[in-house]
């Protein structure tokens, strides 16, 4: 049975496609690519149909990650098929939990950096959109670090289903 994870940011062109690419690579490295489905979306539809921000594409490519992305808006109906909805900041977390049709669906929403034990109290991945390339590099570093803990949590869930 496939475990489904969706990363969500504002417009689905910077942070969430970055997290999607990184986590897809982590699941492949762990041999879980056939058991874990990874995608992303935005809380808003401003960029629907667009590719990822060119700075996201550039930073991902520079670090050896696959690209290929089309932005889309998160839909409430997706909660029924998703196992985990990963918000990139507290604003997304609140928006997604408000959208959740049931308390069980709201409980599926977690902050990405909550999987990074060294993150401290600031669990937001800052939006790099209005800054320079260094913000995208910082975003990638946060995503990569948190993805290790997220992978451990997802692996536990996947192995629990198989048992």
Active site residues: 9, 15, 127
Answer for the pair 112, 19: CB distance below 8 angstroms, yes or no.
yes
Instruction: Please give the Cα distance from 109 to 94 (Å, whole number).
Output: 9
DSSP 9-61: ESSSSSHHHHHHHHHHHHHHHTT-TTTEEEEEEESS-TTTT----HHHHHHHH
| Residue that the structure tokens 């809380």 belong to | 43
Nearest CA-CA partner of 44 in 13, 89, 80, 67? 13
């Amino acid at each position: 049975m496939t475990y489904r994870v969706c990363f969500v940011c504002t417009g689905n062109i910077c942070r969430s496609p970055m997290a999607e690419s990184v986590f897809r690579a982590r699941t492949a490295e762990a041999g879980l690519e056939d058991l874990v489905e990874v995608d992303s979306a935005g809380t808003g539809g401003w960029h629907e149909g667009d590719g990822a921000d060119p700075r996201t594409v550039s930073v991902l490519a520079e670090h050896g990650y696959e690209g290929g992305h089309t932005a889309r808006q998160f839909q409430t109906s997706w909660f029924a098929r998703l196992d985990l909805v990963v918000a990139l900041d507290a604003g997304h977390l609140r928006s997604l939990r408000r959208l959740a049709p049931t308390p069980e669906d709201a409980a599926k929403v977690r902050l990405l950096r909550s999987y990074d034990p060294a993150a401290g109290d600031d669990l937001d991945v800052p939006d790099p959109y209005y800054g320079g390339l260094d913000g995208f590099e910082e975003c990638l570093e946060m995503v990569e670090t948190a993805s290790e803990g997220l992978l451990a949590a997802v692996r536990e869930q996947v192995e629990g289903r198989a048992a």
